[in-house]
Structure 1
Amino acid sequence: MLKSKFYFLIPTLLVLISGMATTVNAQKKTAEGIKPELKIQKNLTDDQLLDLVQKQTFRYFWDFAHPVSGMARERSNVAFEYGNEVVTTGGTGFGIMATIVASERKFITREQAAARTKKIVDFLWKADMFHGAFPHWLNGETGKTIRFSPKDDGADIVETSFLFQGLLTARQYYTADNATERDIRNKILWMWEGIEWNWFTQNQNVLYWHWSPNNGWSMNHQIRGYNECLITYILAASAPKYAIDKKVYHEGWAMSNTFFNGKKFNDITLPLGFDGGGPLFFSHYSYLGLDPRGLKDKYADYWEQNKNHTLINRAYCIENPKNYKGYSAKSWGLTASDSWQGYAAHSPAEDLGVITPTAALSAFPYTPEYSMQALRHFYEDMGDQLWTEYGFADAFSEQHKWVAKSHLAIDQGPIIVMIENYRSGLLWKLFMSSPEVQIGLKKLGFSTPTIK
């Protein structure tokens, strides 16, 4: 039932392998560029190492951003029929949140952060949208839709929700009384008000993922849980003008044969979702802004859900039933990423011997001790293979003697954001302070300590 990272990928991504990919030349360093630190330093404190990882990973969104739009490029390499102009809406939402982190951590100034965010918002304001929703991919120069698959050439409300999780967080952050930050807030509000979430129900009690001006509803993809799309329903319920009814959440999202679980895996109970938990990005994407601490509804405690999902994933890697080389208590993390045979949604149910650093690193809020073990292993023990100018390579397999020659916006962004949520809760505080989000959560029956 998923698409944003794997299940409905176009064939060119499925056949992407390192031998077919050619690195896109990074933009020339400008006065506002961030110098990469490529020499491995083995005497860093935990805080120094976290600073370094956040700062260098942020270069993907800062130095490698599309020069015209400021948006995040889909990935750092290209393959057959996959051009340099492709920017990603969801990944840009993650990058907008990463830019707030960079501002607060003084990697860049607040003025630089606001100027880049305004550049993105101004571009989106003029870009293709459909009933207020954006497509998965845009041309970063023209703002025109680049189709994700033959019939996916219009609105994608899941990617739109990832984008607006970032934009609403930015609206809560850029509160200064100056022309730049006022314009950011105003345009975000106007675009937010214009998304016709209820139209994407087709008058049924479920959301539909896609609509195309050329193909209509022909993809016919209902969004049902449990997966990465919880934020889509929460934003749809929070919308100021075109909100969904609570029945759409309870009868659509929560009524699925992949919603409830309750089984034990490695003696750890999984409340919701696929057996084994599925890829770890389920516990990241919706929770970059949505604070899972104390977040509950009648179906689950979402902190328990995400922590247990992470622990199950790590325990599987330690158990290593397929005896892959390199799996251990300090080398773990299965989630969707590039692999030695193409793009795959790595999980206990689809284990190809590939470890993806974003899986363990974006889990810092849930498993800080275990995530730090993994971080030190990736950086100190394997840094000569994995550490690059944009942070860690997307994935690696010791079994197959393979390291990705790529970085993906949707993998790099959560590393920065979730490490920051572990360190300060910054993005959680900002997003949860949105009055509309609080209204939407109440409407759907959620309780959380952050609701006033």
Structure 2
Amino acid sequence: MKRIILSIAAASLLAVSCKNSQIAKQESTQKSVVKSNITDEQLMDKVQKDALKYFWDYAEPNSMLGRERYHEDNIYPDNDKHVITTGGSGFGLATILVGVERGFVPRKEAVKRLTTIMDFLAKADRHKGAWSHWINGETGKTVPFGKKDNGGDLVETAFLTTGIIQVREYFKNGNAEEKALAKKCDELWKGIQWNWYTKGGEKVLYWHWSPEYQWEMNFPLEGYNECLITYILAASSPTYSIDAETYYKGWTRNGTYLSDKEKYGLPMYVKHNGAEEYGGPLFWAQYSYIGLDPTNLSDKLIKNYFDLNKNQVLIDYKYCVENPKQWKGYGPNYWGLTAGYSRNKDGSVGYNAHFPQNDHGVITPTAALSSFPYSPKESMDFLRFIYTQKPEFIGSAGPYDATSINYDNWTTPRYLAIDQGTIAPMIENYRTGFLWKLFMNAPEIQKGLKKLSFTSEKYNIK
């Protein structure tokens, strides 16, 4: 949600000439098209391996965490090559685990790198245990995301914590080095003061707290958007937990976030904040679900979270196929609206949170690719199309962040961690459920979900 609110400011920050994008586009046309007879399994392997490069090859060299952005055209705002992003790095941890599990990276090297990461996070600035949205990868100091956003960011911390718990679970029964890594993860997780972010015991979590500005950001986490996982982790904390009342009064707005609306004959189930007609950007169906398995998952109000997410994705898909604004290229093979880089009216590169009610003719590849669990056929159609027919949209770390057939095959040779980081994990959850199993079987998560009256037969949560 914060990414929607800040999209105008971010667009101003990131706007640069499109000349470099066009040069890169011309260069990329020299790339060879992936052969059309490539199998679905080979395609999924390829895009997962490509996306891994963002966090393995292009990581910030001191912290080894994920940079906020990586630009192949080497143009950066405010010289921020060492700015790492907390939430995107959490997705990066999950991506590295996929790389280990699939043999893309050696297990021993991954353990070494992950140990460096955990050591860095232990020494980095923390605000009542939470990390800031951005951190300087060289010094560990908070980098303000905005003037008053210079303290703890509980939502970005939650995305990072999901990855930390998954790393712990993956290595906790390994050799001595792996067990030591798992212990570091455990200590980081237990140090987060989730209940502090209730602002003195209010029955809601708050997104930000700053030692300088205190609660002036004043952003309560109320559903529905991408923030569900924050409440799950806060309830699951063995050291600083919240109660079930905070979840139901805060996140669900005393149940008033429920919706009886439908779109294209598909129930929406909840009111999407600021996007009630079609649903929000597709990252809302992805960020919380890198670890949280929505399959037949229910609480007191939602019967099946998988259906909630699946319907949001399919509504987005059907909107793109219907294409009411008549953008060139939109259709069954080219769809997906979410937050990411965008094309400004003057042709420069900006940032925008795309969704049907905020559609600018720009398709963000992570939207469809990270929706594989919910729309496997539609996502595969997109994956096959972009790799076999649109080589100009593919860079060294997979599909570029933003594309538009409508604007003469416009793209920008740039990546954002928060977008690239969900691709490999969500495809892997579709293929094997690997990351879901790690997170859902963590003992504290099981207890936290039960506290909030969640049920899942798959994981024996009753």
Q: TM-score, normalised by structure 1?
A: 0.93
Structure-1 residue corresponding to 2:107: 110
Q: Note the C-alpha offset of 1:39.
A: 5.4
* 2:181 corresponds to 1:184: yes
Which of 28, 36, 46 is the aligned partner of 1:42? 36
1:208 aligned counterpart, secondary structure: coil
2:84 aligned counterpart, secondary structure: strand
Which of 411, 424, 432 is the aligned partner of 2:432? 424
Which of 220, 223, 235 is the aligned partner of 1:222? 220
* 2:162 corresponds to 1:168: no
1:237–1:245 contact (8 Å) kept in structure 2: yes
Runs (5+) with no aligned partner, structure 2: 22-30, 345-349
Structure-1 residue corresponding to 2:63: 69
1:94–1:166 contact (8 Å) kept in structure 2: yes
* 2:278 corresponds to 1:284: no
Q: Deviations over 1:128-183 (max 9, x none)?
A: 00111000000011111100001000100000000000000111001244332122
Structure-2 residue corresponding to 1:208: 206
Structure-2 residue corresponding to 1:149: 146
Q: Note the C-alpha offset of 1:189.
A: 1.2
2:402 corresponds to which letter in structure 1?
A: A
Q: Deviations over 1:243-296 (max 9, x none)?
A: 001111000010079822221111211111322111000000000010010101
CA RMSD in angstroms comes to: 1.8
2:295–2:306 contact (8 Å) kept in structure 1: yes
**CA distance 1:176–1:10, shift in 2 (3 Å):** farther
Q: Deviations over 1:301-356 (max 9, x none)?
A: 20110000011000000111111111001111011111101211100110111111
Instruction: Note the 1:270-281 alignment, pairs <5 A.
Output: 270-274=268-272, 275=276, 276-281=278-283
Q: Note the C-alpha offset of 1:116.
A: 1.3
Mapped to 2, the partners of 1:227 and 1:263 lie a distance apart of 16
Q: Deviations over 1:29-86 (max 9, x none)?
A: xxxxxxxx96523221110111111001110010000111110000113543251110
Structure-2 residue corresponding to 1:327: 330
1:391 corresponds to which letter in structure 2?
A: G
Percent identical among aligned pairs is: 48
Identify the structure with bigger relative contact order (alpha carbons < 8 Å, sequence gap 6+).
2
Mapped to 1, the partners of 2:217 and 2:246 lie a distance apart of 19
Structure-2 residue corresponding to 1:29: none
* 2:124 corresponds to 1:127: yes
**CA distance 1:183–1:394, shift in 2 (3 Å):** same
1:10–1:149 contact (8 Å) kept in structure 2: no
Mapped to 2, the partners of 1:84 and 1:325 lie a distance apart of 35
Instruction: Note the 1:197-346 alignment, pairs <5 A.
Output: 197-202=194-199, 203-255=201-253, 259-274=257-272, 275=276, 276-300=278-302, 301-341=304-344, 342-346=350-354
Structure-2 residue corresponding to 1:27: none
Mapped to 1, the partners of 2:124 and 2:187 lie a distance apart of 14
Mapped to 1, the partners of 2:397 and 2:36 lie a distance apart of 19
Mapped to 2, the partners of 1:90 and 1:180 lie a distance apart of 26
Q: Deviations over 1:169-222 (max 9, x none)?
A: 111001244332122111111121111111110110000100111111111111
**CA distance 1:151–1:443, shift in 2 (3 Å):** same
Structure-2 residue corresponding to 1:387: 394
Structure-2 residue corresponding to 1:451: 460
Q: TM-score, normalised by structure 2?
A: 0.91
Structure-2 residue corresponding to 1:369: 377
2:235 corresponds to which letter in structure 1?
A: A
Mapped to 2, the partners of 1:196 and 1:179 lie a distance apart of 29
2:51 corresponds to which letter in structure 1?
A: T
**CA distance 1:173–1:441, shift in 2 (3 Å):** same
Mapped to 2, the partners of 1:319 and 1:39 lie a distance apart of 28
2:187 aligned counterpart, secondary structure: helix
Structure-1 residue corresponding to 2:24: none
* 2:408 corresponds to 1:396: no
Structure-2 residue corresponding to 1:31: none
2:460 corresponds to which letter in structure 1?
A: I
Mapped to 2, the partners of 1:258 and 1:109 lie a distance apart of 48
Instruction: Identify which range, 266-275 or 60-69, moves more after superposition.
Output: 266-275
Runs (5+) with no aligned partner, structure 1: 24-36
2:248–2:255 contact (8 Å) kept in structure 1: no
2:125–2:141 contact (8 Å) kept in structure 1: yes
1:134–1:160 contact (8 Å) kept in structure 2: yes
Mapped to 2, the partners of 1:221 and 1:21 lie a distance apart of 38
Structure-1 residue corresponding to 2:420: 412
1:76–1:407 contact (8 Å) kept in structure 2: yes
1:314 corresponds to which letter in structure 2?
A: Y
